[in-house]
Structure 1
Amino acid sequence: MAAFLRRYGVGARWYDTLSGERWVYRAGRLAGVQLLAPRPGDVVVDLGCGTGLNFLLLFEAVGPRGMIIGVDRSPDMLDRARRRVDRAGWDGQVRLLQADAVRLDPSDVVDLAGRPADALFSTYALSVIGDRQTAWNLSLETLRPEARACVVDMQPPRGTWRFLSPLARLACAAGGADITARPWRLLERVADPSTLRRSERKGGHIVVVAGDIA
């Protein structure tokens, strides 16, 4: 774990450039925000926020009366996220919390926001966490009753995109992600089935699932 954290932190400086964000993974963020459908004034928890690549999309949805709580365990990633917040002038609307998701104290998130959150958003993070069930359970405790959640994560590409499967597996392994984890199932187990919404991008490599917590 310590070795992974060092690798994760060292990569913070180049993460936005080398992570395939522009060509592949931004598509999942866009689809995720669309399915999550944050409302103006909402508080959204961005679990595993990394360098803050979700912040602009979320801020455009919740507006200046809303708030984003970015949670990440890496101080290096949060340093990049803080620079993003400062450049955009989001101080007060985007607040950052350094915490390991499997040891998260939900009350820390609630205290930062001033109330329980309206929505939970996790992009490409749960597949990196070993004990993702514990991380998921703790993150749910940051939410108000009948809140919404969205999980964006990865699986091997399918169909005509299958030829990219070795590259996808290599990229996930380099980032410490388990491409077979399918963490969106955590949400599917606790969501109201009638509210579940699913979308896939890039030949099924990116899976987006959103729903209301039952």
Structure 2
Amino acid sequence: MAEKYNRFAPFYDALSGEFPVYRAGRLLAVRDLDLAEGAQVLDVGCGTGLNFGLLQRAVGPTGWIVGIDRSPQMLARARRKAERRGWSNVILIEGDATTLSVEKVREAVRARGGRGSSDAALATYALSLMPGWEHAWERMKHLVRPAGTLSVVDMQEPQGAFAVFGPLARLACRWGGADITAAPWRGVERDCVAVRTASARGDHLQVRTGRRP
């Protein structure tokens, strides 16, 4: 999977369907994270940094954004995006979210000026790409401080009047390597408190946000 995303990294932003479809889920997640200025937020499967602009507006220049991705080419795009826009508070870590060491991530973040535990974390359209998404979710939880906030945005079959777009949604997920049946937001529902539910695009985009106990 990393090899596929390495190849498509230069074209990913243009081909991802971001503005007609998927940006809606990112907006809902960042809204529900309710980030304060100066907060540190972890972006699991950050890709080319499509969440970074929204997160920057929320945490401001005194906050930190920690992005993790297994594709070096996607991270290279994210790094260039941060450099072009003068975002000096972005820390990027290459690693497989299903197997990485929580302690090593903490050490890497501290070494670059951040904190070992983040105030919040999100995974947007990332966990459904991972056959072992539960392992990534466990690591994501443990990289957030107690009472911190976690959000998962992912995809399912469109519902109701939008069901007509089901074949297109399945094709897009197959192209991207995502499992449209994975429903990784179940991790939030199971392990968090004060869970908030949101959806968009005929329930194709599902958002769950909750607080770590």
Q: TM-score, normalised by structure 1?
A: 0.95
How far does residue 107 in structure 1 lie from its aligned partner after superposition?
2.1
How far does residue 104 in structure 1 lie from its aligned partner after superposition?
1.5
Partner of 1:206: 205
Partner of 1:15: 12
User: Is 1:30 equivalent to 2:31 in the alignment?
Assistant: no
83, 90, 94: which one pairs with 1:94?
Answer: 90
* Unmatched runs of 5 consecutive residues or more in structure 1: none
Show the 5 A alignment for 1:129-208. 129-192=130-193, 195-208=194-207
Partner of 2:37: 40
**Partners in 1 of 2:145 and 2:199 — Cα distance?**
28
How far does residue 50 in structure 1 lie from its aligned partner after superposition?
0.2
CA offsets per residue over residues 177-211 of structure 1, 9 Å max, x none?
Answer: 0001010001111111xx11111100000011101
Aligned residues: 208
How far does residue 143 in structure 1 lie from its aligned partner after superposition?
1.3
Show the 5 A alignment for 1:42-61. 42-61=39-58
How far does residue 109 in structure 1 lie from its aligned partner after superposition?
3.0
Show the 5 A alignment for 1:63-82. 63-82=60-79
How far does residue 120 in structure 1 lie from its aligned partner after superposition?
0.8
Amino acid at match of 1:6: E
How far does residue 103 in structure 1 lie from its aligned partner after superposition?
1.4
How far does residue 115 in structure 1 lie from its aligned partner after superposition?
2.9
Amino acid at match of 2:56: F
95, 100, 104: which one pairs with 2:100?
Answer: 104
How far does residue 114 in structure 1 lie from its aligned partner after superposition?
2.6
**Partners in 1 of 2:24 and 2:105 — Cα distance?**
27
**Partners in 2 of 1:211 and 1:167 — Cα distance?**
30
Please list every run of at least 4 consecutive aligned residues from structure 1 whose deviation after the TM superposition is greater than 3 angstroms: none
**Partners in 1 of 2:200 and 2:140 — Cα distance?**
25
**Partners in 2 of 1:109 and 1:59 — Cα distance?**
21
Q: Give the 3-state SS of the residue equivalent to 2:98 in structure 1.
A: helix
Amino acid at match of 1:15: Y
How far does residue 138 in structure 1 lie from its aligned partner after superposition?
1.3
How far does residue 38 in structure 1 lie from its aligned partner after superposition?
1.1
**Partners in 1 of 2:102 and 2:40 — Cα distance?**
14
**Partners in 1 of 2:105 and 2:86 — Cα distance?**
21
Q: TM-score, normalised by structure 2?
A: 0.95
How far does residue 212 in structure 1 lie from its aligned partner after superposition?
0.4
Q: Check conservation: 1:45, 1:119, Cα contact below 8 A.
A: yes
**Partners in 1 of 2:39 and 2:130 — Cα distance?**
26
